[in-house]
């Protein structure tokens, strides 16, 4: 994936978040404050309008800065920071061989910024196993990505707003885990 294609892919996420706004909002209504769909849509509307850069690293950085400034809530700074961190390890093109390094950085950024270890019912519970799968040489399919999000259902949340719901947070997919599936699927599709 070169710079031009990355621009298309990141801008293309707008239609994915338009399509899934209600789904994300409904999940966040159950175990949060019901704004995750709106937050992600606002973020990728801004990306669609403002994304700049002629190189892969510059585009990733622009995406991160845009998400940080456009999205309120926990997810904006987490995704924003992650894209900025990815820009620092990105090469001229994103390939099957180097995407593992990028996704590892994505996961590590959320881990550091969110102070999570895994098993707390957050987006990291999708990012971590996906990063591990890629390091092991497997690019997860869309169905496998979705399964990682579904697996967050069984977890009782201990981070973010969902933690206030304690055991009632069980049985619901974490909204950020679901939005992470859309972002990862768009990036991984380019190297499948």
Angle of CA points 177, 102, 81, to nearest 5°: 60
Convert residues 24-63 into a mask of x (bound to Mg ion by CB under 5 A) and - (unbound): ----x---xx-xx---------------------------
Residue 108 binds ligand ADP (CB under 6 A): no
CA distance 14 to 54: 20
Partner in contact with 122, chosen from Mg ion, ligand ADP, none, beta carbon below 5 to 8 Å by kind: ligand ADP
Residues 29-88 that bind ligand ADP (CB under 6 A): 32-33, 35-36, 39, 73-75, 78
Query: Distance between CA atoms of 20 and 83, rounded to whole angstroms?
Result: 21
CA 161 – CA 105 distance, rounded (Å):
25
Q: Both tokens of residue 16?
A: 């994915």
- Give the residue among 168, 189, 46, 154 at the shortest CA–CA distance from 177: 154
Kindly state the number of chain residues that form the binding site for ligand ADP, as judged by CB under 6 A. Answer: 24
Interface residue list for Mg ion (CB under 5 A): 28, 32-33, 35-36, 73
User: Which spans of this chain sit near ligand ADP (rule: CB under 6 A)?
Assistant: 28, 32-33, 35-36, 39, 73-75, 78, 110, 114-116, 122-124, 159-161, 174-177
């Amino acid at each position: 994936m070169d710079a031009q294609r990355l621009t298309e892919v990141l801008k293309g996420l707008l239609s994915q978040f338009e399509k899934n706004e209600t789904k994300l909002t409904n999940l966040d209504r159950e175990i949060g404050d019901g704004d995750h769909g709106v937050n992600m849509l606002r973020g990728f509307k801004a990306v669609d309008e403002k994304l700049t850069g002629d190189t892969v690293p510059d585009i990733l950085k622009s995406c991160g800065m845009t998400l940080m400034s456009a999205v309120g809530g926990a997810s904006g700074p987490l995704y924003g920071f992650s894209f900025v961190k990815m820009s620092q390890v990105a090469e001229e093109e994103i390939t099957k061989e180097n995407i593992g390094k990028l996704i590892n950085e994505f996961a590590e950024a959320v881990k550091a910024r969110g102070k999570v270890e895994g098993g707390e019912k957050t987006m990291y519970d999708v990012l971590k196993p996906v990063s591990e799968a890629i390091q092991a040489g497997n690019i997860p399919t869309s169905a496998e990505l979705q399964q990682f999000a579904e697996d967050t259902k069984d977890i009782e949340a201990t981070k973010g707003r969902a933690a206030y719901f304690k055991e009632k947070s069980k049985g619901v997919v974490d909204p950020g885990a679901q939005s992470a599936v859309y972002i990862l699927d768009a990036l991984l599709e380019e190297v499948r």
